Structure 1
């Protein structure tokens, strides 16, 4: 994630801990933070939602309000709710290998605007399926989100006649991805709650409970009480992906956990319905940026 303007400003080093370069736009602000020496308990706080992504190095995040203490690594997203603070430890930062993080501050009004637009289109659940929940989010993000963030760095940092318009489009996409993740987690978590008990939620639970089986679209359409075309259209709107790719993401996420628990690459592969370890390894590396064998080594 390099642009001429960004590189020029990052070279103007002012401090060694959290050296900040910022680019502002309507409803948002993008910043790049570089840290060049080890440090502990460095505070970060924002009045608005703060979407963070690690670019290089490692941080350990401490959020006392929810007793959260975990490492933050590249290819991961860390989203702080408005007014939520975090204390950060830098364990691997140096002048030759700085720890670098991207942070995008987004106004609450903009998030509400996107949520309202999505709720007009969706037919999956209640009218307020898409509503931002102000809570900590820490997860691996996929290649599409990684590409979106790279595009946003370019849009914010480089001059363009359509800069404001294009930034707004990219913000809509980033907020949509966050809301889709939260709505999906909400439906899965509350599957047995009558308020959230919908035919579509039943379909989601079926996928979750049969990860090692081939996807049966006809069965899912019957469970959701929708035609094939309607099911695909609404699924894409609500969760930002197709049923098959969503199942794949769930499989890979489960595989990541199994590898950390001591499973071999082959065991994780076949237990989750993949037919070829080499194909599984390619998908895994594309999703997480590292081969599954390197995750398996961490458990030993």
Structure 2
């Protein structure tokens, strides 16, 4: 498998000379970086990410995970996260690729497989890379050399990749997100509501009702999926949006109210706790050195 990994790494480098590249393959991005990066915060969409060279750390809620060429990372729901490349150099760049996970396609693949028991509530995981998954990803990237084949073959290979993921030890996470009334899918509904209304007061009773769960069950399953409580999830969204706004403007107090904070001092404290410095200083730093694109 080592030789196959090296071949795919070289192919990705061919189509991604530097930085982050959006490819002609729907939902597929490539990245090549020659130095470690500062922590970069954002909301991870449902995706598969494979590192072909180097290593990365990701913090989601109260968990920090590492993945490298021996493993791959899957997020099955939208997750506020902070990631940073921890191993990269000019001699051995960090090289990675990602593919978004289409929920409808995942459900279609699952429908063609034998019925399996509902699995784990976890919303993300790291797993060992297998020869089958590596081969499928390689065939997908090879299509960049044959653009005329992309419309027909890319959807087929994406289905194959999802099939490989559904065969893994952590397939229960993906099975749940593909099923409309699973525990993760019901939590997923509340994640969408919080993302659309992050600047409004959060009612746990309303979220529990939306998920069709008791308060205690909702809290337990929400934490299992996201590694954070509903209020921590909302706070992470608020602070990340505030950071994006502050790069373009300097009014920290106005930004605090805009993202839903009633107290500017509380906003400043929580912002500094999350990003390491007060809002105005952090924004000035970002204007001089923007955050790297994350993958």
TM-score (norm 1): 0.48
With normalisation by structure 2, the TM-score equals 0.49
